[in-house]
Amino acid sequence: MSRQRRSFSPEFKLDAARLVVDQGYSIAESAHSLDVGTTAPPLDEAARVRAWG
């Protein structure tokens, strides 16, 4: 039985990225507060933004 992939709205992605980039949350803290995995697309994008600073 396969799991269905979740999709995220652009607003959700932006809010998730802001938690990491603007507010200084770690990826793990953000994932926990948003109830998503640490490899969720919004957090992957935020990690890339943080890395390129």
pLDDT, tens digit, 9 for 90 and up, residues 2-53: 778 788 888 888 888 888 888 988 888 988 888 887 777 667 777 777 666 6
Q: Which residues of 10-39 are buried (b: 16+ CB within 10 A; e: fewer)?
A: eeebeebbebbeeeebebeebbeebebeee
Q: How much is the pLDDT for 1? A: 65
Q: How much is the pLDDT for 53? A: 61
Q: How much is the pLDDT for 7? A: 85
Q: How much is the pLDDT for 3? A: 76
Q: How much is the pLDDT for 8? A: 83
What is the rounded distance in angstroms from the CA atom of residue 3 to the CA atom of residue 20? Answer: 27
